[in-house]
Amino acid sequence: MGAIYYYYPGTEPKIDNKEVYIGGSWKFLSAKWFYSLDDYFKAKGTNGEDTKGTNYLDLSLNYDLGRGWGVVAHYGHLEFKNVTNGNYNDWKLGVTKDVGGWVFGAAYIGTDAKGDCGTREIYCFADTSLTRVRDAGRDTIVLSVGKTF
């Protein structure tokens, strides 16, 4: 059990979010459920309603294959309260390799979030100049390197 507070300095209006969560794990599997205590990242519903109560389910797998190799998988589902086309599923499938304490990873990450920027869907974001929009609902590959000290 726990709580998370997200804060984005410099945003106007101030964007922050408060969530509580509960989770558990068994061997290489874990599950966590998050619940928003206020309007979800200051978003309002399709008709101006509150988005308090938006929730997210995270199911994850981290499996050690031995010799420094691992498999990671994730499935998530967001229920965006009072937002048309706001609910989505996301997933990740990847592999990791530990080399002397450095962990290298490659993962395919996808979502069914509607991000068709031509129709002004919710998961389209403009850069600060408002000259270019990005579809946050498209699939991608992420390469990573990490080290714990």
How many whole angstroms separate alpha carbon 122 and alpha carbon 132?
A: 15
Q: Quote the pLDDT of residue 12.
A: 83
Longest dimension (CA), the chain: 54
User: What b/e sequence results for 47-62 when a residue is b if at least 16 CB atoms lie within 10 Å of its CB, and e otherwise?
Assistant: eeeebeebbbebebbe
Q: Into how many domains does the chain fold?
A: 1
pLDDT in tens, 77-104: 999 999 988 999 999 999 999 999 999 9
Q: Is the peptide bond before 9 cis (omega within 30 degrees of 0)?
A: no
- For a pLDDT cut of 90, what percent of the chain falls above it? 71
Over residues 14-43, the pLDDT tens digits come to 889 999 999 999 999 999 999 999 999 999
pLDDT at 128: 65
Host domain of residue 116:
2-147
CA 109 – CA 106 distance, rounded (Å): 10
pLDDT at 145 over 90: yes
Give 10's pLDDT tier (boundaries 50, 70, 90). confident
